[in-house]
Amino acid sequence: PAIESARDQLRHANQAMTNALQEKLKRRASELRGLDLHAALYGRLASRWWGPVGWLVALWSLIVRAVAWLSHLGQHHRPLAGDSVTALPLDVSGLDEVLAALYAEYWPPAADALSAAGLSRLREPQRWEDEVQHASEQLQAHSAVAVSEALEQSARRLAHPLLQVALNGPVLGLLGWVGYQTVAAFVSGDYLPAEYFQNAGTALLALWASGFVLLQVIVSVAVRSGVKKRAARALASAATWQLGQDLLAQLDILLER
């Protein structure tokens, strides 16, 4: 009975702490700046895109990442130049205070029940403080990984081969057609006028710019409706209380004997 009571108390504490941590990390995900998300996402897209639109993506990636880096000047969590390619500055400050408040509310009754079940030294203040620090460090590390994975998933979708063919295809097709007509005219001796090349150049630039602008619209929609939601789900899954899970596993083993 003591072990079952301890397990019930621990489950209640574990669920309450997990819910509170998930809510906090979800709020942090919703507060991610659009500029930071665009910089991190374009940093990943630059290495995945090819063709004329890919050249513009690489150039735009450098510009957006530079602007994002400059916007963090003077801030405590300012990333290093180029860090947005692999990491996104996520402010998870305050986790220590949240964990300390949760432990103060839910841990004492759970620790008393665990002590009654034979698990000792759980009410020691040092054990509590060490667990708060350890849990905070783990959550910060898991949060960075979770956001990075959400960005990677979005980058893979936005660099789909069919999308690249659809946006690069018109530019390459028109360029090939102009090249064919130029060679054919040269061989036949019926040279094309300068106006033809001016119009062809204008059309190429228009198609090139249109493809890139369309990609920017798609990326913006993905950031607003996709990346933040994936990041929130990933952060929620990372919001676990390791000590509670470990103790629950020990109690389950004791009850199976």
- Say how many Å lie between the first and final Cα of the chain, rounded: 14
- Tell me, what's the pLDDT at 84? 43
Cβ–Cβ contacts within 10 Å for residue 230, how many?
A: 20
Nearest CA-CA partner of 239 in 9, 29, 10? 29
Average pLDDT, the chain: 77
What is the band of 53 on the pLDDT scale with cuts at 50, 70, 90? very high
- Contacts for 133 with CB less than 8 Å, ≥ 6 apart: 96
pLDDT in tens, 118-169: 666 666 666 667 777 777 777 777 777 777 888 888 899 999 999 999 999 9
Provide the residue type at 82 as one letter. Answer: G
Would the pTM count as exceeding 0.75? Answer: no
Stretch 187-195: mean pLDDT, rounded? Answer: 84
Provide the residue type at 120 as one letter. Answer: S
pLDDT in tens, 207-231: 999 999 999 999 988 887 777 777 7
Nearest CA-CA partner of 199 in 191, 207, 188, 211? 207
- Tell me, what's the pLDDT at 76? 54
Residue 17: exposure state from Cβ atoms within 10 A (0-12, 13-18, ≥19): buried
pLDDT in tens, 63-109: 998 888 887 776 655 444 444 434 555 566 666 777 777 777 777 77
- Tell me, what's the pLDDT at 253? 64
